[in-house]
Each structure stands twice: as C-alpha cells, then as structure tokens.
Structure 1
Amino acid sequence: MTSHISLLTATDARSHVHLIIGSNPLAAARCGQSLSAGASPILIAPETSELYYALQKRVDDGEVKWIRDVFRDEHLTTLGREEIGHVVDAVFVTSGPREPLSAHISTLCKRNRIPVNVIDAPHLCSFSLLSTHVDGPLQVGITTNGRGCKLASRIRREVAASLPPNLGSACLRLGDVRRKIQEEDHLLHMALADGDDMDVDDSVDQSASFNRLVTEADVDAVKNRRMRWLGQICEYWPLKRLAAITDEDVANILKSYDDLNSSSSSSSPPSSNNSNNNSNNYAAGTQKRGRIILAGSGPGHPDLLTRATHKAIRSADLVLADKLVPSGVLDLIPRRTPVHIARKFPGNADAAQAELEEMAIAGAREGKVVLRLKQGDPYIYGRGGEEVERFRSHGLGLGDKGAVPVVVLPGVTSALSAPLFAGIPPTQRDVADQVLICTGTGKKGKPPAPPEFVPSRTVVFLMALHRIAGLVEELTEHLETEKSGDENGNANANETPRRVLWPRSTPCAVIERASCPDQRVIRTTLDRVVEAVEQEGSRPPGLLVVGRACEFLNKPEKGRAWSVEDGFRGLDLGLEGLEGLDLGGA
C-alpha cells in the first residue's frame, strides 16, 4: 500500500486574509490559529447563526470580522488584500464533506488557486494543518497526511516531550547571534554565494562545502568563519546544551573571531601561569593527583562505548570533547561535570586543538581527572598520538613517581563499524581480501598520496567528503607528478611504474552519522558520487567506502545513479525493557 507525502512549508501569514466558513467550535479554533499566525480572519456565517461562545467573544472583541451572510462566490475575490487584487489568501471550511457547499467551495478555490482546507475531507483540501508544538520561534509540526489527526496529535506530544525545555529561547538567542555576525562581517551576500545561509531552507541537509577546509588563500571563507562556526554549533552541540545557552555563551561566540585573530599569530593559545612547570611540582605538593584520560567514544551510538570509557565519562572532573562526539554520548555526562566542546570551526582547527591540550594540562595539574573525549578511536586519525606527545613534552604521562599519568582508552572506529552498519562487509571471500584505511585530507589540507587500485581491496576514506571531487579525480586520473606509461601501469624503460587507476564504475558508499538515529547511506559509483553528495547535501561526520564489497549485500537497482537510505536500526536487540536499569547513576 502506497501513500502520498505532502510538501511541508512554513507560511508567513502576517497581514493575510483568511476566510473561515462556519459557526461551530472548529471555526473558533481556526480563527484562533489565524490570529496566532498574524492573519486577519473573516467569518462567513448567516446572521441567524448561533455562534460558538468563544467565536462570539472574538467577534465582540473586534478580533474577528463577521460577514453576516451565506457564502457567496464573490467573497473569494472581494474580501482579500488590495495589493493582490482583493483575493483572499486561504479558506477554511468547517462544515464537513457531506455539505454540498463544501465541495463547491473546494472546486472554486482550486480553480482560482486559493489554498483551501475542508474538515475531514482530504480529497477536498489543497493544504492541511499540522499538529503543532510551539515554543517561541520554534515550531514542530506533525502530519499523517489525512490518516488520523488523533495519531498526529499523539506523535506531536511525544516529540515535544522529548525536547529539552527553553529550546525556543535558544532559537531566539542563536538567531540574534546570527544577525549580529551578518551585520558585523557583511556576510549576507557571501553566505548566499557560498551556500552557507543555513537557516533559510530547513528542508535540506548542510551543503557539501559545510565542513570544507579554510585555507589562507580563501579570503571569503576566512571572513565567514564565525558564521560557519555558528552553523556547526547548531549542528553538533547537544540539544540540552543549546537549550541552556546563556548570554555569556552568546558573548563568547561573538568573541571567537577576535580569539582566532589573536591565536593565529602563534601556534597555540597563551599558556597559563603554570604551563611551563613540569610535573616536579607534584612531588612536593599535597593536592589531589590528577590524570588525563584520552578515550574514544566510538562511531556514535552510546551503546557502542567501551565500559572503560563509560566509567571515565561518569567519574571525570572535566570533559574536553571533540565537536563530533554525538549528543547521545554527551548526554551520559553527569550534569555536575563541566564540559568544553572543541571550537573546531574551519580555519581554527589547530588553535582549538592547542586550546584543548592546554586545558587538559592545566586541569590535570590542578588535581582533576580530565577526560579528553574523541570520536571513534583516538589513534585512528584522531590525533591521539600528537596529544600524548604534547602531554609528554610537559612532563605528563612519563611514569615517574610524581608525574601526572596519561591513560589512552580505545574506541570502536567508524572506519570498520560504519561499513557494518551500512551492510558492507569490508572483507568477503572471493570479493575483498584486504582493507585499507586512508585519510582523504592530509596535514594543512594537502591531498595525501592516493592508493592504487587493487580489485580485491576495500578502501575506507575518513575526512574526505568535504573534498570529494578532488579525491575522486586523484583516484581515477594520474597526477601531474606521475611519470608516463601505459594505462595498465607498465613503465617505459628507466621509468617507475605508474599507479593503477580506479575504474570510475567502482562501487562506493558514503556513510554519514554511522549508528546515530539520522544515519544516512548513499550507494553509488565513483563516477556519480560527487554529483550525489552535491545534490543530497552533507550530513557530517561521514566517510567514503570504495570497492566491490560495497555491492556484495546491496545490489544496485538498474537505471538508478544512486540510492539513499535514511535511519539506523542496527542495534535492535530486543532489550527495550532495560532502559530503566541503573547503570551507575548521575
């Protein structure tokens, strides 16, 4: 059984004229909805009608204009706004589908392209009203497309109950920040040109360039760093933290550009007074001995945490988290524990990394247990080795009697778990006998050396989607630095064999937000993956899997350039009754 879906829109109805036909309680409700949206409702009902008491009160108070007459066809084209030729903006019929007048009004409205809604008659409607939760500027609407308004209302209540309080206030504050950034940096035209005006169209994911690198030569991108960071705050911060955003947080967001300018002159933020002291300070001290725990949070789903990392989350005095650590994991942090999320917006990655390292060192020297929480596994493109090296250079983790210990806990890497959740076995007999994990982006944004094509190899590229076009070109075409030879890689005399290129027909898959509720898989081939990512948008973090294994369990449909699969259902263990168990307390 198939059913249609509606094009959901948000209409700015301020100054619109709505005709409400009827005198019953529903007519009163429709008048109230019109007024709430800033429209001017006009009631059409005979003078002999007995108005519902709430409706009568609105008429008496002057909120609703009552045309004491039966409906006439000319009402549609004479009672509206002057600037649109007196045509009304919408019509609400509250008398139901059995009344002959309902079908007549519907036909007339559709003929004149006037939006019309008839109660309990989806076939007579050109639009329907959603069951809506309203919190300030935030509106959440649910529709079942005529399958049941009571069910829609129930779903709406469930969704609203799951949202943190004060989320509407957060929308107001963040909206103010966005306007201030635009005013100060003159970003309106650049945002439109670069696809970064993210609040205009809520129906699509981020543009493919959402997380692209910012280079020194990219002047426009440098100018709009704060706007990009604001977009990433909205994308990555847990909803609970967004809902609790304060004026101080807003000030810090606006101040970030100044921080960026000041940090660009040096490799790291200014150190604290004690940052140059090594761990010998602890030998003579009596304060609590601190430590740094560097832990991987896994691909996304909190159930994929190791028990060691979960214990560290519950017991840490300070949590320093990467921006990509998902909200489901951050929600496990006790409310009493301070949390700092990395300010890694494009162009500020190195400064943000140094800032977290300084905070970890300072916290440990104060005797705190500092949890440095990273996505995936710390040592698989997580810069974990760099951080341990930095801590060692400050005398931490050396194993001496007075040293602050550094502990590294593994995490489930998305490089191996994401393909599993997408139904891709990276190794499969007679298909793929080797797996190669690569980065799609080298240090300072430089492209790494592309791997050559091996038919039995599955390659997983991390940090690649923001430069997917460049990566595909590097895999399928020879670089300028590569010597000439034949297409099979055979070299001429005294020449090094050329790299074997990847066929453009090679199957591949883009996997985004693996194991999170909004996981998405795009299945396609190398020759169409750039177009697919550009058209479908970006939902970071994501990775690219390339190789024949991508099609082993997921045969492509003929005639389709790519397919998209939304949602995650990979941990349905039938353990729904365990949610209430005490897993350690907050």
Structure 2
Amino acid sequence: MATTATSAAHSSSSNSMLAGLVCTGNIHLVIGTNPLAASRCTQALAAGAQPVLIAPQTAELHYGLQSKIDDGSVKWQQKAFEDDDLFTLGRAEVGNVVDAVFVTSGPREDLTAHISQLCRRNRIPVNVVDAPHLCTFALLSVHTDGPLQVGVTTNGRGCKLASRIRREIASSLPQGLGQACARLGDVRRRIQEDDCLALGDLDDSLDQGALFNKLVAEEDVRNRRMRWLSQACEYWPLKKLASVGDEDIDRLLATYPGLGNDTGRKDGGGGEADEPKVGKLILAGSGPGHPSLLTRSTLHAIHHADLILADKLVPAPVLDLVPRRTPVHIARKFPGNADRAQEELLEAALAGVRAGKTVLRLKQGDPFVYGRGGEEVDWFRGRGLGDRVRVLPGVTSALSAPLFAGVPVTQRDVADQVLICTGTGKKGKAPTPPEYVASRTVVFLMALHRIDGLVRELTTHMAPDPDAEPPCASTRAAEANEARPLWPPTTPCAVVERASCPD
C-alpha cells in the first residue's frame, strides 16, 4: 500500500515521506458507510489487509460495502464506534491493536476529531477524509500494473489534481511495463539464486584450487550479468524494456555464462551468402539528446536503416523515432565490459553489412568527438567495407551544452580559443591535464563521475604514474607537469548535464 506520512502540524514548505507499506495480514478499521468507505475497504484488500467496518446495524450501507460483507471479505462490527475498538479488534501478535484507521464520515463531526486525537496519542496511523490536519498518513493516487506501482500525491492540495496527474503519467507508460518488471525481477532473482548455489557448493579445503578458480570465474560472469541488467534498466527505452519477453530472458541467462556472442540473432544477420548483397554502414551522431537537434541526414538514416546498433547513452526520445519494424540493439556497456560490448556491436554491424543490410551505428553527440568513431571507421575499412562506410556528423555536447547553460565558449575580450578534453582516459585512467590559459575556454567531457580528481589534477602538480610510460618519457612528463601553469581555484566553471533533455 502506497502512503505518505503526514503530520497535524504539516507546514506548507515541507513534503511528506513516501513509503510502500507491507500490509499483509494487517487489520484496517474503516469507520463510515459511504462510497469512500467501500473504496478504502477495496484498497485494504488489494494490499492484503483485513478491513473491519464499524457501523450501526441500522446504517444504510453502500452497495459496494454490502457485496464485500456478503462474500465475507469485509467484517462488519454492527455497532457505533467505541474507543476500545482500537485496542481489541487488532491482531493478537501486536496486542490486539489495529494497524490503521480510516475515517470516512468527514472532518466536521466531533467524533472524527476525537478518533484522530486518540489514534495519534497511541501512535496508530489514521486517515480522515478531507482533513489533512487530522491525518498521520494519506493514500496516494496509484496506478498499478502487476508489480509496478506509480503513486502521486499533492500533499493535501487537491485529490482531483493528483488523480489527473496520475492518469497522465499512466497514459505515457508503454503497455506491458508491469510484466517487464516481473520478468526482469525474475532474472535478478535467478542470478542471485545461482550465486547462492555456487557458493554453497564451494568446499573450504584449499586443495580444491581448480574448483575455486572455476567458481571465481563464474562469479565474475554473474557479476557481469547483474551489472548488465542494472545498465539495461537504467538506459534502455521503456518501450524496449516493455517488449522484453521470456525468450529474451532465456537468451540473457544463456549467453552471459559463456560470454558468447549473440549477434547472430534474427536482426544481426547471418553468414555470407554465395553472392552477398551490397550492404552499407552509416556511422551517425544523435546530437546532444533532444530529437529536434538531430540532423536531417541522421533522421533519414534512422527511418530507413535495416538494423540499428545504438550506444546506451542515446536517449529514449531519439530511439522512439525508430520504426517499430526496425530491430535495435543497445550496447551492453558497463564497467568491466565496455571493450567486449564494443566488439559485439562491431561484429553485429559487420555481419549485417555482409548480409546486404543498411546498418546504422548510432552514437551520442558527434561520432568523431570522443565517440571512438575514427577507430570504428578504421576497423570496418580494414575488413573490406571501404567506401561503404559513411559518417554523418552530430551536434557535439562539447559546444551545445555550454550554449544551453548560457555560457558562450568564445567571446571578445574574454575567450578567444576553445579546448575540448576528456575527463576519463583509456581504461578509466586520468588523462594529462591541460595547462591554464586565461583566454581559453576548456570543455571536459565524461568527467562528472571523477570531478574531484579532475579538480585536484588541474590545481596541483600531481606525481606522474611510473608504470604509465617508459622511464625517460616519465621523466619528461614529470618535468612538463612541474612547468605547467596551474588553474586558480577561483576559475569560473559550470557543470552541465542532460541540458537538452526534458528532465
């Protein structure tokens, strides 16, 4: 059951704490006989609780209440409310104290305020209709789809508005997302169960060296699967997640234990035919994130490609432009698997082109600005694709992000040059920091996750890594580093993230 914890002294400047309560077996007291009382009973039953209705025998019951009483799902105490009901109708394991109280009769009755005060004094959660000042919790307006629940609250500012917002959110979610949550949750559970079984079979004897090494390798594979699952949940478009089926789940569990290549699927192309068709590869940048910032050439390629291989950072609004008939593969890149994921995409693209398909390799930003685009072009041309490789430019975030943040990268009498750097080098190592030039704007890409280290490198002379270069080169690097002008700590800077995205 989704709730918000509120307070009688709730201030206009504070919000509630949202919580999902496990109510299985709880006793919920419902006071009132109107349609809202029937709704509260329905909500309690959906959460696994047992609703108990308090109302005199002569009360006129709503038909929804009457039907639930008739089928036995709601228990009816045919009497007026008494204070002892809070302490005698609950579960034995909690001293017969009820777990929650819903008052549906309205805030203007004296009994309503009395029940609220009694519940708050005894720390019993209480909800009173249309009276936030008498409540210690409130129910959210909830959309439920299987295990997926989306709740909205306006913190007592308008139930109708909360319902409207909830409907708008629910209508934007793809069909089948709840089933996808169940399937992906099943994958997570199965991976965890595999871990438990493997660890349970491990003998403590140090003589089992071969077995131990085998289990260590298998554990690394399971960690890779779990990391990939986390990355898929975070970066895949919701429509793609909603389309995940049982076959996709089985494929995931089957391919990752062997770290095999699954590019030979229906949309990855098969082997070469006796007379291969002439395919082509398009390497394109999707720009800084917003679909309206795509080039017309890239949009045309998205609409007409036979196969699309996308980086995980390509945002969902761009992938939503892909026709439903076009298969899309998203890079399974996560820490420790980036190189392998890159190989999978390259091999899938090569297989697709050799099968006569138009393959779109879709990247974020501009493919030749820290996008490994040059490496990919060399890789494909080195395997015989030649002029069948076409590169389309994209708007790089190195220039668009400052613009969205209102920072001109060049301006007369302020900055007459621009330097674009990476904040993360190969294999995650720190790159050589640039020297400080007062008239130069420096843009760092892929640096947010290590911004503390970057600031230290710019403002201090760091000791060189002795393992990074030969001794003579390391000595020269150290000398150059000592001579490098340091950045003043007062240098103006801006951190820009997802500037062109709706969120």
TM-score (norm 2): 0.85
Kindly report which structure 2 residues correspond to 1:27-42, keeping only aligned pairs within 5 A, or say none.
27-42=37-52
TM-superposed CA distance for 1:511, in Å, is 2.6
Counterpart CA distance in 2 for 1:112 and 1:450 is 62
Q: Is the 8 A contact 1:414 1:514 kept in 2?
A: no
- The answer as to 2:466 corresponding to 1:467 is no
Residue 359 of structure 1: aligned partner: 348
Question: Does the Cα contact within 8 Å between 2:221 and 2:256 map onto a contact in 1?
Answer: no
State the alpha-carbon separation in 1 of the partners of residues 352 and 222 from structure 2. 33
AA at the equivalent of 2:226: M
SS in 1 for 2:501: coil
1:122 maps onto 2:132 in alignment:
yes
Shift of 1:512: 2.6
Structure 1 residue 517 corresponds to structure 2 residue 475: no
**Residue in 1 that maps onto 2:367:** 378
What is the alpha-carbon distance in structure 2 between the residues aligned to residue 512 and residue 254 of structure 1?
34
Maintained 8 Å contact 2:271/2:351:
no
**Which of these residues, 359, 362, 379, is aligned with residue 390 of structure 1?**
379
Q: CA deviation at 1:59?
A: 1.4
Q: 1:513 deviation in Å?
A: 2.5
Q: Please report how far the alpha carbon of residue 150 of structure 1 lies from its aligned counterpart in structure 2 after TM superposition.
A: 1.6
In the alignment, the residues of structure 1 paired with residue 193 and residue 428 of structure 2 have an alpha-carbon distance, to the nearest angstrom, of 30
What does residue 448 of structure 1 align with?
Answer: 431
AA aligned opposite 1:78: T
Describe the superposition over 1:282-333 as per-residue Cα deviations: whole angstroms up to 9, x where unpaired. Answer: xx94x64211100000111111100000000001111111111111111111
Q: Does 1:252 align with 2:251?
A: yes
Q: Distance in 1 between matches of 2:222 and 2:178?
A: 29
Cα separation, partners in 2 of 1:454 and 1:220, compared to 1, 3 Å: farther
1:306 aligned partner, one-letter code: T
1:100-499 aligned within 5 A: 100-186=110-196, 224-260=223-259, 274=272, 285=275, 288-397=277-386, 399=387, 405-481=388-464, 497-499=482-484
Distance 1:69 1:432, change over 3 A: farther
User: Which ranges in structure 1 are unaligned for 5 or more consecutive residues?
Assistant: 190-216, 264-270, 275-280, 400-404, 484-493, 519-586
Q: Distance in 1 between matches of 2:377 and 2:148?
A: 43
For residues 58 and 258 of structure 1, do their structure 2 counterparts lie closer, same or farther at Cα, with a shift above 3 Å needed? same
Residue 74 of structure 1, aligned match among 73, 80, 84: 84
Question: How far apart in 2 are the matches of 1:15 and 1:505?
Answer: 60
- Unaligned segments of structure 2, at least 5 residues: 1-10, 200-215, 262-268, 467-477
The question of whether the paired residues in 1 share the 8 Å contact of 2:271 and 2:355 is answered with no
Q: Which has the higher helix share?
A: 2
Cα 1:360–1:470, aligned 2, differ >3 Å: closer, same or farther?
A: same
User: How far 1:442 moved relative to its partner?
Assistant: 1.1
Change (3 A) 1:22 1:416: same
Equivalent position of 1:83 in the other structure: 93
CA distance in 1, matches of 2:111, 2:74: 22
Q: Which is further off, 174-183 or 247-256? A: 247-256
Asked if 2 retains the 8 angstrom alpha-carbon contact of 1:482 and 1:498, the reply is: no
Distance 1:180 1:145, change over 3 A: same
Within-5 A mapping of 1:548-559: none
* C-alpha distance 141-13 of structure 1, shift in aligned 2 (>3 A): same
1:462 corresponds to which letter in structure 2? L
Note closer, same or farther for the CA distance 1:123–1:495 as it changes in structure 2 (3 Å cut): closer
Cα deviations by residue, 1:26-63 (Å, 9 ceiling, x for unpaired): 11110010000111111111222122122122112211
Distance 1:224 1:514 in 2: 32
1:66 Cα offset (Å)? 1.4
Letter in 2 for 1:316: A
What is the DSSP-based 3-state SS (H/G/I as helix, E as strand, rest coil) of the residue aligned with 1:320? strand
In structure 2, the CA distance between the partners of 1:218 and 1:506, relative to structure 1 (3 Å rule), is farther
Alignment partner of 1:228: what SS?
helix
Which sits farther off after the overlay, 427-436 or 381-390?
Answer: 427-436
The residue identity in structure 2 corresponding to 1:129 is L
Q: Residue 410 of structure 2 contacts residue 418 of structure 2 at CA under 8 Å; is this kept in 1?
A: yes
8 Å contact kept, 2:221–2:257: no
Give the letter for the 1:423 counterpart. G
Cα distance, 1:477 vs structure 2: 2.6
**Conserved? CA contact 1:229–1:346, under 8 Å:** no
Q: CA deviation at 1:226?
A: 1.7
Contact 2:285 2:362 in 1 (8 A): yes
Which moved further from structure 2: 314-323 or 248-257? 248-257
Query: 1:53-91: per-residue Cα shift (whole Å, max 9, x none)?
Result: 221221122111112222122222222223323222211
Structure 1 residues 240-259: Cα deviation after superposition (integer angstroms, max 9, x where no partner): 11111011211222234324
Alpha-carbon distance in structure 1 between the residues aligned to 2:27 and 2:405: 50
* Contact 2:218/2:257 (<8 A) preserved: no
Q: Deviations over 1:517-572 (max 9, x none)?
A: 22xxxxxxxxxxxxxxxxxxxxxxxxxxxxxxxxxxxxxxxxxxxxxxxxxxxxxx
Q: How far apart, in 1, do the equivalents of 2:180 and 2:65 lie?
A: 34
- Distance (Å, rounded) in 2 between the aligned partners of 1:104 and 1:500: 72
Q: Deviations over 1:114-157 (max 9, x none)?
A: 22111111221122111111100111112222222222212211
Confirm or deny: 8 A CA contact 1:22 1:45 kept in the other structure.
yes
Aligned length: 458
1:368-401 alpha-carbon deviations (Å, 9 max, x no partner): 111110111000110000000001101112x4xx
8 A contact 1:142–1:155 mirrored in 2? yes
Which of 51, 54, 58 does residue 44 from structure 1 map onto? 54
Identify if the C-alpha distance between structure 1 residues 125 and 170 changes in structure 2 by more than 3 Å, giving closer, same or farther: same
Helix, strand or coil at the partner of 1:508: coil
SS of 2:314's partner is: coil
Offset of residue 495 of structure 1 = 6.1
CA distance in 2, matches of 1:457, 1:161: 48
Take 2:221 and 2:399, find their aligned partners in 1: how far apart are those partners?
Answer: 34
Query: Is contact 1:342-1:353 (8 Å) kept?
Result: yes
1:322 and 1:259, CA in 2 relative to 1: closer, same or farther beyond 3 A?
farther
**Percent of aligned positions that are identical:** 69
Alignment correspondent of 2:212: none
Instruction: Tell me: CA distance 1:312–1:175, structure 2 relative to 1, closer, same or farther (3 Å).
Output: same
SS at match of 2:240: helix
Q: Write the letter of the residue equivalent to 1:128.
A: A
For residue 159 of structure 1, report the CA deviation from its aligned partner.
Answer: 1.4
Tell me the secondary structure at the aligned position of residue 20 of structure 2: coil
